Structure 1
Amino acid sequence: MVAAAQLGVLAACVVLFVPMGMAGWHLSRNKMLFFSGALFITLAVGVHLTPYFPSIPHLLSPSPSLLLPPPSACLPFLHRLSWSHSPPPPAWAWSPSAHARSCGFQRLSRADASDLLRGSWILVAGDSQARLLALALLRLLLDPPSMATVESDLFRRHSDYHLALADRGIKLDFVWAPYESNITQLLRRDVRPAPQRPDVLVLGAGLWHMLHLTDPAQYGESLVALRRAARSSLYPVSPHMFWLGLPTLVNSMLNTEEKRERMNRTVWEAYNREVDERMIVRGSGGPFLLLDVGMLSRGCGRGCTADGMHYDGVVYEAALHVMLNALLIESQQRI
């Protein structure tokens, strides 16, 4: 219909204004009459064709879809959270910046998260930080009465955990893998031969290596092997992959002398540099999107940890919603 209207306008211009222009060239004595007639006919044509076109303000106003930044432009701003500590308990929200508003970051409800993850297999593997993220996901998906038995089962010492939500087709597996080599073996042994690969993969380790081995270079070499295993095991159908960053350590609050000696700030920074330099996360060319627990725990503050290493659930809740919003962005969905 719009194309037909455009052709109609073109025909009207040819039929009406070309002859009038040729005649008007010779109306030297009565130019006012010529221009008055031209104005009248122009208005008449405009009135009759107006229903075929959007209004002028609509043409001048950009479409809402044009105001949205491209998905990749939103990812760097996912961790821009603001924290409030008064009154307690601590709470978080995305910073009220233009980027957060235009990207539409949101805290997902149980129903929204269930819709987003429906039919998905989520595999979480790593140390206690990964277990706490799995707990945050279960707290979002399940109602409080269901969480009592789930939490006790999930926190059996150094154990794996599996849960299937049949009504939503969601499967969650947590695999206890405190060292990077454990994760590499998992990817090579359990993921590669499987006919179905996980849809969401969350990995994270480093605290055990830092405490028991205290060798940043060796940690970096383990990350290289893990990265290669992730790329070779999951190709060509790669899931959404996330890497859990190391939490901010409060050295004075660590509960043993060994931890305070080996897990100091200098060592912590060296381990973080290995993550940056070994091309694990996307910012350095790696396959994993970073869930920056270090930044989130630092924002929550030392009041959010009892042992200087493990933080309150609100930190992992924030990391979870960063992950869910990244999934929305990468799948180009809107809840």
Structure 2
Amino acid sequence: MLGAVQLGLLAACVVLFVPMGMAGWHLSRNKMLFFSGLLFITLAVGVHLTPYFPSVSDFVTSVSSIAVVDDRDSCISLLHEIAWEVKPTGVFDPLKNYTVNFSKYWEWKGSNSVAYCEFQKLGKPDVMDLLNGSWVMVAGDSQARFFTLLLLSLVLDSEHMESVKGNLFKRHSNYQAVVDKIGMKLDFIWAPYTTNLTDLVIEFKQNRNYPDVLVMGTGLWDMLHITNASDYGDSLRLLRSSIASLLPISPEFGTDGPVTGSVSVRSPHLFWLGMPTLVNSMLNTEEKRVKMTNLRLVAYNRELEKNMLLQQDGGPFQLLDIGSLSWNCGIRCTDDGMHYDGAVYEAAVHILLNALLIKSHQKL
């Protein structure tokens, strides 16, 4: 029911505007000017009265919120709209690695929708400002190592990067870097199987401490050593259940029951590092060529979709689609059919950074 204040305001509007409208109708000159003025006054009064009508205020607010969310979501969906230019270098040396004979350049496509989102390749000062005071963790296999290397190259100088390359790529080992200048910590965790990732998430929950940005990805080792897509799907389901404990309680994130024991109402930014395009004929061992087929890759990616780990499927992780990035860069961007040129992982890093800008409502 309308309250006394609302009824009084409504009556005032009737008393004020109905006589004006009736008088205006009989004016023979400047009718258009009169009604333009009347419309302006009506709109002005309506704006000032809106706060007194909660339902109207709530509606306006909700419409504004939906517009913001839609813009944000649409930009997130366009982050992988990237065009590649791969061409021979000036000096072609067949004795060197295949990829070094070609230069690679990428940029976001020039469509109107992409231009509206204002994606950008961030320079070192901007990256340092964005990641200031953050704890970033990358967990996974060799793909995750290359991703970590390219991320560190945006916050460290060339002198420090030389030592990083040697330490980061020690076989089957973890790595940690601290950038004192901006108070940033980065951890690489060697976690080739999904069960390793689940154990890591359980450890977060026990310690009640977790990173601000968490990048995860598995699948290649599972394809080579286990070769069972269904088992891979089961492990993804367990990971999804475990990761729910790091997220705020939300009816939008489907679970078998209520989420209990959340570490914090603030959740980490979660990213999933997708598997690359596999060029079977270029894989460097017979075992890989037999087991790591494109048919099996499709089956593994189907399990990822079916178990709803990715946000596009209703899950918690934003995809960093190494598969599409490597496919579009092409076979001239890989030497072994599995690991790709740094430009592919660089593009993935900038997709992550722009996603962080969007999610945190920041602009540089």
TM range (shorter): 0.7 to 0.9
Q: Deviations over 1:267-322 (max 9, x none)?
A: 11101111111111011111101100000000110111110000011000000011
CA-to-partner distance for each residue in 1:95-121, whole Å, 9 max, x for gaps?
Answer: 001111001111111111111111110
Give the secondary structure class of the aligned counterpart of 2:149: helix
Match of 1:207 in 2: 220
CA shift for structure 1 position 187: 1.1
Task: Name the SS of the counterpart of 1:101 in structure 2.
Answer: helix
> C-alpha distance in 2, partners of 1:169/1:97?
37
Q: 2:157 aligns with which of 138, 143, 154?
A: 143
Q: Name the counterpart of 1:62.
A: none
Amino acid at match of 1:79: H
Q: Which residue of 2 aligns with 1:6?
A: none
Question: Does residue 221 of structure 1 match 2:222?
Answer: no
Partner residue, 1:74: 75
Instruction: Please say if residues 68 and 103 of structure 1, whose CA atoms lie closer than 8 Å, have aligned partners that are also in contact.
Output: no
- Following superposition, the deviation at residue 193 of structure 1 comes to 2.4
Structure 2 CA distance, aligned partners of 1:282 and 1:326? Answer: 13
TM-score when normalising by structure 2: 0.74
Amino acid at match of 1:172: L
Separation in structure 2 between the aligned mates of residue 333 and residue 238 of structure 1, nearest angstrom: 18
* Cα distance between partner residues in 2 of 1:120 and 1:169: 7
Structure 1 Cα separation of the partners of residues 201 and 325 of structure 2:
28
Equivalent in the alignment of 1:198: 211
Counterpart of 2:361 in structure 1 is 332
SS at match of 2:324: helix
Distance 2:151 2:322 in 1: 15
- State the Cα RMSD in Å: 2.9
Kindly state the Cα deviation for residue 67 of structure 1 after the two structures are TM-superposed. Answer: 11
Q: Deviations over 1:127-168 (max 9, x none)?
A: 001111111100111111210011111111111001111220
Cα distance between partner residues in 2 of 1:281 and 1:195: 24
Task: Determine if contact 2:246/2:268 at 8 Å carries over to the other structure.
Answer: no
Partners of 2:177 and 2:147 lie apart in 1 by 15
Which residue is 1:182 aligned to? Answer: 196
> Is 1:188–1:233's contact at 8 Å kept on the other side of the alignment?
no
Structure 1 pair 91/68, CA: closer, same or farther in 2 (3 Å)? farther
Q: How does 1:90-101 map to 2 (within 5 A)?
A: 90-101=104-115
Is the 8 Å Cα contact of residues 83 and 299 (structure 1) preserved in structure 2? yes
Provide the residue aligned with 2:270 in structure 1. Answer: 241
Q: Which runs of 5+ in 2 are unaligned?
A: 1-15, 38-66, 89-101, 248-261
TM-score, L = length of structure 1: 0.80
Percent of aligned pairs with the same amino acid? 49
- Structure 2: distance between partners of 1:280 and 1:145: 38
Aligned partners of 1:289 and 1:183: how far apart in 2? 16
Report the AA paired with residue 209 of structure 2. Q
Instruction: For 2:87 and 2:294, locate their aligned partners in 1 and report how far apart those are by CA, in whole Å.
Output: 28
User: 1:172 matched to which residue of 2?
Assistant: 186
Name which one, 1 or 2, has greater alpha-carbon Rg: 1
Instruction: Please name the residue that 2:48 is paired with.
Output: none
Deviation of 1:194 (Å) = 2.7
CA distance in 2, matches of 1:184, 1:228: 9
Matched residue SS, 1:201: strand
Flag structure 1 segments of 5+ consecutive residues without an equivalent.
1-13, 26-30, 46-65
Partner of 2:119: 105
Question: Which ranges of 4 or more aligned residues in structure 1 deviate by more than 2 Å?
Answer: 66-69, 193-196, 233-237
Partner Cα distance (1:99, 1:301) in 2: 25
**Quick one: which amino acid aligns to residue 331 of structure 2?**
R
C-alpha distance in structure 1 between counterparts of 2:192 and 2:280, whole Å? 20
Partner of 1:63: none
* CA-CA distance at 1:68 after TM superposition: 11
Write the distance in 2 (CA, Å) between the matches of 1:72 and 1:262: 37
Q: Which residue of 2 aligns with 1:3?
A: none
The 3-state SS of whatever aligns with 1:197 is coil
Partner of 1:59: none
Residue identity matched to 1:268: L
The residue identity in structure 2 corresponding to 1:246 is: M
Instruction: Give, as a single letter, the amino acid of the residue that structure 1 aligns with 2:348.
Output: A
Alignment-mate amino acid for residue 145 of structure 2: R
**Are the structure 2 counterparts of residues 233 and 240 from structure 1 closer, same or farther at C-alpha, using a change threshold of 3 Å?**
closer
Deviation at 1:233, TM superposition (A): 4.4
Aligned to 2:288: 259
Deviation at 1:196, TM superposition (A): 3.1
| Structure 2 letter corresponding to 1:241 | L
Aligned ranges 1:122-141 → 2 under 5 Å = 122-141=136-155
Instruction: Please state how far the C-alpha of 1:70 moved relative to its aligned partner.
Output: 1.7
Q: What's 1:318 paired with?
A: 347
Query: Does structure 1 residue 230 correspond to structure 2 residue 243?
Result: yes
One-letter code of the match for 1:260?
Answer: R
Aligned to 1:192, the other structure's residue is in SS state helix
